Structure 1
């Protein structure tokens, strides 16, 4: 009889779990923290690192596939898989045809929202939970934006949203959504914390995408424009509590609209439609 130490038994148990002998609960996920990066993930990380090191901007071209194979010393299959990972996440785009190839994409909350929605969906998180996080997150961003120490920066950033501009009734949906996202993005840009900016903004991107797919949010046009006007003034004036209160009140109105229009789907799992 072979006596195994406690440490040996634990290692064997982990090995059985990773070999699929028994499922690992989604909520646990601890083993993924120590999982070595796959070749494609290493390539994706290195490409992003080079984009940062070279200060490349959206639309700038990246090396050809042949050049990357030499530069990174990997197989064609691994390189293409790494590029696909980045393309799905919006960090690069692949231009097709003559003169095409990989170009730098953008870092935006919409891309993060698209990927995050998969995790939220698999976990069973509901739209009701998303709305709760969204209201809190945007309130936090508005309060922090109003605390930005430079009054001139606050004023110039909020200026486009303080003139009571009016949306024409025939405005295209895409333009309307960009305008709405632009306001919230401007508020977030004043927070001076890119982790909070991207993470908390992604909630709103998921909400906006879902509402746009199942309804027409332009019916809220007049309410949203007026709310943006008030919030922008509070941020520009450096009034953190008022900015947060107005933002949360604004979003609760949107949530009420969603409840009325979307009904029971608020209890369904989040997804990117």
Structure 2
């Protein structure tokens, strides 16, 4: 039995049990991002655990982005969002410890996004494909101010493809690669330098997906990200062979 098998089968700590119970209640009650959770006093009585175990369980969920803790009067735990960025942040710890490089990350990213584009174009709901791709079928009539909003706008295109892929496990897992790449590029370079290229490529890929042309969607995505990787390789060549940083 490997060490990984032992880790999966070990008994849960009290804090982990509390964290799982909180997640189960969020799902059972249909709570949405931004909804408040019970106060610490209520949780202590409800779960019958120590304050230390409760707070550790909440920290486990906060680190993984599943909740946020609002400080001060009237504060408390708030439901977070299921976001590939959170999964990407946790994943970078394991990639870093495994010695995985940015070059390997870029290779995985190109394959992942091409697969998602293929699956998105294969979605049998033609009306849904058109509706999800419609915002990207024309050039934006404005320039987004600020790096953060710019990154979010372009990440929205890849998120829309992931949603159309029809497999939430694949969508969430594969979308994390792009989140990590985006963070890396934004730290060492300004991705707005690629604004015109990204907008043009997204428009063509969106059209292929909307029309249900899966092979073209995959080919365009591979070419699109190949260009981005080439750009990064020429500008960031010194860092592509280095281990992925833990975000």
Bin of the TM-score, shorter chain as denominator length: over 0.9
Equivalent residue, structure 1, for 2:69: 94
Relative to 1, partners in 2 of residues 1:120 and 1:167: Cα closer, same or farther, differing over 3 Å? farther
Structure 1: 5+ residue stretches without partners: 1-13, 15-23
Out of 150, 157, 160, the residue aligned to residue 125 of structure 2 is 150
Q: Give CA-to-partner distance per residue, 1:119-149, whole Å, 9 cap, x none.
A: 1001100111111111100011000000111
CA contact (8 A) 1:135 1:251 kept: yes
How many positions carry a matched residue from both structures? Answer: 247
CA deviation after TM superposition for structure 1 residue 251, in Å: 0.7
* Secondary structure of the structure 1 residue equivalent to 2:77: strand
Task: Establish whether residue 268 from structure 1 lines up as the match of residue 242 from structure 2.
Answer: yes
Q: Give CA-to-partner distance per residue, 1:195-248, whole Å, 9 cap, x none.
A: 111100000000000110111010000000000000000000001111111111
CA contact (8 A) 1:209 1:272 kept: no
CA deviation after TM superposition for structure 1 residue 167, in Å: 5.0
Task: Establish whether residue 69 from structure 1 lines up as the match of residue 44 from structure 2.
Answer: yes
Could you tell me how far apart the structure 2 residues matched to 1:147 and 1:167 are?
31
Relative to 1, partners in 2 of residues 1:75 and 1:61: Cα closer, same or farther, differing over 3 Å? same
* Secondary structure of the structure 2 residue equivalent to 1:29: helix
* Secondary structure of the structure 1 residue equivalent to 2:240: helix
Could you tell me how far apart the structure 2 residues matched to 1:111 and 1:239 are?
32
Structure 2: 5+ residue stretches without partners: none
Task: Establish whether residue 213 from structure 1 lines up as the match of residue 182 from structure 2.
Answer: no
The alignment's TM-score, normalised by the length of structure 2, stands at 0.97
* Secondary structure of the structure 2 residue equivalent to 1:102: strand
Equivalent residue, structure 1, for 2:138: 163
The alignment's TM-score, normalised by the length of structure 1, stands at 0.88
Q: Decide which structure has the larger Cα Rg and report it.
A: 1
Could you tell me how far apart the structure 2 residues matched to 1:130 and 1:115 are?
15
Equivalent residue, structure 2, for 1:140: 115
Could you tell me how far apart the structure 2 residues matched to 1:106 and 1:126 are?
28
CA deviation after TM superposition for structure 1 residue 42, in Å: 1.1
Equivalent residue, structure 1, for 2:95: 120
CA contact (8 A) 1:127 1:266 kept: yes
Aligned-CA RMSD value: 1.3
Equivalent residue, structure 1, for 2:19: 44
* Secondary structure of the structure 1 residue equivalent to 2:22: helix
CA deviation after TM superposition for structure 1 residue 166, in Å: 4.9
CA deviation after TM superposition for structure 1 residue 272, in Å: 3.8
Task: Establish whether residue 78 from structure 1 lines up as the match of residue 53 from structure 2.
Answer: yes
Could you tell me how far apart the structure 2 residues matched to 1:64 and 1:139 are?
45
CA deviation after TM superposition for structure 1 residue 102, in Å: 0.3
Name segments (4+ residues, structure 1) moved above 4 Å. none
Out of 123, 142, 151, the residue aligned to residue 177 of structure 1 is 151
